[in-house]
Amino acid sequence: MDTYKKIVEFIRNKYDRDFIALHEPVFFGNEKKYLNECIDSTFVSSVGKFVDRFEKDIAEYTGVEQAVVCVNGTNSLQVAMQLVGVEQGDEVLTQALTFIATANAISYLKAKPVFIDVDKDTMGLSPKALKNWLDENAEIVNNICYNKNTGRKIKACVPMHTFGHPVKIDEVLVICEKYNIELIEDAAESIGSFYKGKHTGTFGKIGVLSFNGNKTITTGGGGMLLFNDKDLAKRAKHITTQAKTPHKWEFSHDEIGYNYRMPNLNAALGCAQLESIDRILESKRNLSLEYKKFFNEIDIQFFDEPENAKSSFWLNAIILESKEERDDFLEYTNSEGIMTRPIWKLMNKLPMFKDCQHGDLSNSEWFVDRVVNIPSSVKDNC
């Protein structure tokens, strides 16, 4: 318990508040100015200059050809999978250790998730585990990947960059290409993260970002699709805006579309937030370095960025010795007004996914018992 007291004291000294949240947004730029511009213009819904600007700014920041805004990260994932041809009954490979949105988005298309293990040095999808599962269960027939056991098409793979730590995405890409599987990156937690010099979400066919209120930068709620294929981006824009065909006044729609448009108000917030992202990321990196030094001194493992990666450190994480120690730590810190939380339950342990296929999940199960997220907000004096 003395160790827990030291941790609470250290964190409280960093933030100097009675209650310390896990991750709060910060607004120290042009947020109010741009929001007022929206209000004054009356363009507060899905049409307005900030929507176009936010897409352009994100494309430039991440290094893709084009970006398309969406209402949130979950729906962005759904659209991404639909765009690469995921259909009802198809199988989509993803990691068991992920936020529920990844698996839910697969289910929206009535596809079947298959859960693969993660690596211990990334907390993200393991290329080795992915290869092993495919080598054992998959076959290529007429250039289409099928599951030998179920007869279903294996259409896509969706790795997730956990807490802003990049997956070994180049290795995953090679495996997906071998098996003719489309790669979609769930980069919802990793804006500002780079792997071998490239931004996460830019390796696969489509990448997805999230701007929820607790993310590194926020639009209140929102997502973004990243493309290097402009034709695919054009189609994404079409189906996320009710599939309306261009006309000065008529309402004509040529297929089933979605009302997944981001309002101009939210995009305005995003433009202002993106202007401050370097300052935000620098503060978060400095905090992670302070945490790393502190936890090394008290002999608790701090989860550091993987090799070849520059992590955003969206949420800092420590790894405790056992589930019992984890539970004691969560109880103590939260009772002291320090918000901490465990990592997610494994997807295959949830009732709606309990019958889904999965490989060996030893690393995922090990993390579930030990990982705790600790306060990671940008400090006031950044």
Residue 260 has pLDDT above 60, yes or no: yes
What number is the average pLDDT over the span 17-36? 95
Reference 347, options 145, 109, 72, 115; nearest CA is 115
- Domain holding 201, by residue range, is 31-275
Q: Are residues 326 and 208 in the same domain?
A: no
Domain C-terminal end among 275, 298, 318: 275
Q: Are residues 185 and 326 in the same domain?
A: no
What number is the average pLDDT over the span 69-82? 97
Name the band, by pLDDT with cuts 50, 70 and 90, for residue 16.
Answer: confident
In a domain, 346, yes or no: yes
Q: Are residues 263 and 123 in the same domain?
A: yes
Domain C-terminal end among 275, 305, 331: 275
Asked if residues 28 and 262 have their Cβ atoms less than 8 Å apart, the reply is no
Q: Are residues 78 and 218 in the same domain?
A: yes
Q: Are residues 216 and 264 in the same domain?
A: yes
* CA-to-CA separations, 312 to 199, 302, 316, 360, 378, in angstroms, rounded: 11, 15, 10, 29, 12
| pLDDT at 380 (0 to 100) | 63
Q: Are residues 233 and 310 in the same domain?
A: no
Instruction: Tokens 């401050």: give the residue.
Output: 276
Q: Tell me which of 2-6, 240-244, 246-250, 282-286 is least confident.
A: 246-250
| pLDDT at 355 (0 to 100) | 96
Residue 316 has pLDDT above 60, yes or no: yes
Q: Are residues 50 and 180 in the same domain?
A: yes
Strands 206-210 and 309-310: unpaired
In a domain, 351, yes or no: yes
Residue 235 has pLDDT above 90, yes or no: yes
Counting the structural domains of the chain, the total is 2
Q: Are residues 14 and 117 in the same domain?
A: no
CA distance 330 to 343: 11
Q: Are residues 230 and 369 in the same domain?
A: no
Would the CA dihedral through 83, 88, 91, 94 be positive or negative? Answer: positive
In a domain, 381, yes or no: no
CA distance 30 to 22: 24
Provide the mean pLDDT of the chain. 96
Q: What is the pLDDT of residues 129-179, one digit of tens each?
A: 999 999 999 999 999 999 999 999 999 999 999 999 999 999 999 999 999
Residue 126 has pLDDT above 60, yes or no: yes
What number is the average pLDDT over the span 96-100? 98
Name the band, by pLDDT with cuts 50, 70 and 90, for residue 219.
Answer: very high
In a domain, 60, yes or no: yes
Domain C-terminal end among 275, 304, 333: 275
In a domain, 380, yes or no: no
What number is the average pLDDT over the span 179-202? 98
Give the CATH number of the domain where residue 293 resides: 3.90.1150.10
Instruction: Tokens 């010099």: give the residue.
Output: 197
The backbone torsions φ and ψ at residue 134, rounded to the nearest 5 degrees and listed phi first, read -65, -45
Reference 176, options 116, 121, 108, 100; nearest CA is 116
**Residue 157 host element (H or E):** strand 154-158
Q: DSSP letters along 176-215, please?
A: HHHTT-EEEEE-TT-TT-EETTEETTSSSSEEEEE-BTTS
| pLDDT at 375 (0 to 100) | 98
Q: Are residues 329 and 318 in the same domain?
A: yes
In a domain, 382, yes or no: no
What number is the average pLDDT over the span 271-299? 97
% of the chain exceeding 70 in pLDDT:
99
| pLDDT at 382 (0 to 100) | 52
| pLDDT at 196 (0 to 100) | 98
| pLDDT at 47 (0 to 100) | 85
Name the band, by pLDDT with cuts 50, 70 and 90, for residue 381.
Answer: low
Q: Are residues 103 and 244 in the same domain?
A: yes
In a domain, 339, yes or no: yes
In a domain, 112, yes or no: yes
Q: Are residues 112 and 182 in the same domain?
A: yes
* CA-to-CA separations, 338 to 14, 18, 31, 37, in angstroms, rounded: 12, 8, 28, 37
Residue 270 has pLDDT above 80, yes or no: yes
Give the CATH number of the domain where residue 101 resides: 3.40.640.10
pTM for the model: 0.96
How many residues belong to the chain? 382
